[in-house]
Structure 1
Amino acid sequence: MPHLSVRLYPGRSKEVKQDFADKLQNLVVDELGCEPNVVSVSFKEIPADKWTDVIDDEIAGEDIYIEADF
């Protein structure tokens, strides 16, 4: 608790993703008051031409608080 799953276009380095994951973990710790060891972060790269179909399927049923406008 909690797990953050990030979907993004391919092309970012492992270092960039690790830095972003670290920042997300710190934000969650600060905002939710939990310990860092209970926060997990994953990444899934989705090609731009498949983005809409994949995202629509993968986030179906989730509560969306900020929606992208493509």
Structure 2
Amino acid sequence: MPHVNLKMYPGTSEEQKEKIAQEITNIIIKHTGKPEAAVSIEIAEVAEDVWMEEVYNKEIKPNIEKLYKKPGY
């Protein structure tokens, strides 16, 4: 605990993904006090042409009231 599932358009390098994951990990550690070993992060690439159908309509829209950060699109 916790597990973060991050979805983004393709094009981010593996090095960038590792830096993103480490920064997210550091924030979680800072604010929860959990050890690094407790944190897991998945980064999945979703093509722009299917984003609305696969991510927005299935995950974001039905859960919009639960989101701590809502999209602006």
Both structures adopt the same fold (TM-score exceeding 0.5)? yes
Amino acid at match of 2:71: A
- Unaligned residue ranges in structure 1 (runs of 5+): none
SS of equivalent to 1:20: helix
What root-mean-square deviation, in Å, do the aligned CA atoms of Structure 1 and Structure 2 show? Answer: 1.4
Aligned counterpart, 2:58: 57
Amino acid at match of 2:20: F
Amino acid at match of 1:18: E
Shift of 1:61: 4.3
TM-score (norm 2): 0.86
Q: Percent identity?
A: 29
Amino acid at match of 1:58: E
Question: Larger helix proportion, structure 1 or 2?
Answer: 2
Runs of 4+ aligned structure 1 residues displaced above 6 Å come to none
Aligned counterpart, 2:4: 4
Aligned residues, how many?
Answer: 70
Cα-to-partner distance string for 1:26-67 (whole Å, 9 max, x where unaligned) = 100000110000000001101111111111213444721111
CA–CA separation in structure 2 for the residues paired with 1:51 and 1:4: 18
